[in-house]
Amino acid sequence: MAFSMSNASSRMPNIEPVPGLRSLISSMRWFPRRFWRFPIVRNYAVRIHRGRKGVLETDGRILFTALPDMVEAYSAKLAGSRSVITLMSGSRLFIGDGTVVGPGARFNIGPDAEVRIGGRCLLNESCTVYCRESLTIGDDCAISWGVKIMDTDFHVLVKGGERMSESSPVKIGDHVWIGSNATILKGVTVGDDAVVGAGAVVTRDVPPGVVVAGNPARTIHEGVDWHWM
């Protein structure tokens, strides 16, 4: 597995694991018309449940891989953790070229809902994405361990006798860093180049180029940029 800094403006690492037999089998199953290009490359177990007309798409190559030598918590046991993708009837998951999905990640995408993840992103170990309507993550984003992103409350609130909406689209811009164990809730837009601190609970929009932290998350720095190590 090769690690090198990209020359692109993303400043994200270039991660290119070597495809093996498991990658070939997964590619043949999910992308039979172009399996020889290895659109799925993996070095740990991945389970994909697909309902009627559920779709998994990519414009290049999805990397389901652990990150040895980059993550202190990496271990042989962790590398064996299974990621699970659940695509309910009519749902769609698009993952862009070069995006890395770490072990233990979970995607739960409801009927007719859509999740779009850009290229050259990192979704680290044990990230969870829940979608019942629409959820978008831009290019060159770093999503750390244990992050939860959801566009729904999974329950209904009633106020003044009227039912409140339980779902609202989430949009995360380009080059966003979300720290470990942070939670992004429904209806939130996170602007380009923003940083969400570890453990933050984001309940409202985050402007571009700021750092937010806390519960609920509040701006603690403005006019910032961040780089990959």
Q: Where in the chain are the domains? A: 2-222
Cα→Cα distances 208→103, 190, 192, 204, 217, Å: 29, 7, 5, 13, 14
Residues 6+ apart with CB under 8 A from 52: 89, 90
Residues 169-222 have pLDDT tens digits of: 999 999 999 999 999 999 999 999 999 999 999 999 999 999 999 999 999 999
Number of residues written out for the chain: 229
Residues 32-43 have pLDDT tens digits of: 999 999 999 998
8 pLDDT higher than 80: no
The whole-angstrom distance between residue 214's C-alpha and the CA centroid of its chain comes to 21
Cα separation, 185 vs 199, whole angstroms: 13
pTM as predicted: 0.88
Mean pLDDT of the chain: 87
Tell me if residue 221 is catalytic. no
Closest to 190 (Cα-Cα) out of 198, 180, 227, 204: 204
The CATH H-level superfamily of 2-222 is: Hexapeptide repeat proteins (2.160.10.10)
Cα separation, 164 vs 158, whole angstroms: 6
pLDDT attached to residue 143? 96
Question: Exposed e or buried b for every residue in 42-66, given b needs 16+ CB within 10 A?
Answer: bbbebebebeeebebebeebbbbbb
CB 143 within 8 A of CB 128: no
Q: Which of 155, 175, 221, 227 is catalytic?
A: 155
Residue 65: helix, strand or coil by DSSP? coil
Quote the radius of gyration of the chain (alpha carbons, Å).
Answer: 17
